[in-house]
Amino acid sequence: MPLVLGLTGSIGMGKSTTAAMFAEAGVPVWDADAAVHRIYAAGGPGAQALGPLVPDAIRPDGSVDRGELRRAIARDQSLLDRIETVIHPLVAADRRDFLARNARADVVLLDIPLLFETGGERAVDRVVVVSTDPGEQRRRVLARPGMDEESFARLLARQVPDAEKRARADHVIRTDDLESARRSVEQLVQELRAERAGDA
């Protein structure tokens, strides 16, 4: 049974980059966003789950049109809760499949953007939070295509503040620069593997 790490961090903190560093260190990584993409793809279970709720968001090939889904939610805010009710169990099943496939690994990582917001910390052994200073976070986010101050503020309002995330974390990875972040990831992986070996 592997040690299960939950990786999270506010928008622009470098979570995806850090998850890739864990993968490079040989840690199997499950990505919640990628799981949703699989579920929404043609042949995935998303169309069947969402068809009764948002029929206009289902394409002829059976994939889910995420843009139409966003527009439907903008028209009816109550739709989000109903969508999450049918999609979250599918995401949880995808995560269980990942854990089953990697049952012999010493350490695995679950990359979950809204870990604290969804109570996901209860499903992991340790929480890893990525963080940088607010100015760098803002610079990164506003450099993204289609992102503006208003969208950034709206996203931040939905997320647990960075300071609270860090206070609740078991491990914090600073992502001010790539090399120090990589060293921190490699050191943490070594420590956790040594800990697991000592427990065996």
Structure tokens at 58: 């289902």
pLDDT given at position 200: 58
What percent of the chain is modeled with pLDDT above 70? Answer: 99
> pLDDT by residue (tens digit) across 104-126?
999 999 999 989 988 999 999 99
Contact 129, 172 (CB under 8 A): yes
Alpha helices in 25-133 (DSSP H): 32-40, 46-50, 66-75, 79-101
> pLDDT by residue (tens digit) across 127-151?
999 999 999 999 999 999 888 898 8
pLDDT given at position 77: 82
- Evaluated on CA atoms 28, 31, 34, 35, the torsion sign reads positive
Alpha-carbon distance of 172 to 179, in angstroms, equals: 15
pLDDT given at position 198: 74
The amino acid present at 45, given as its one-letter code, is P
Q: Which residues of the chain have pLDDT under 70?
A: 199-200
Contact 154, 141 (CB under 8 A): no
Question: Can you give the pTM of this predicted structure?
Answer: 0.89
pLDDT given at position 7: 98
Alpha-carbon distance of 26 to 189, in angstroms, equals: 9
The count of C-alpha atoms lying within 13 angstroms of the C-alpha of 84, restricted to the half-sphere facing its C-beta, is 8
| Owner of token pair 């350490």 | 107
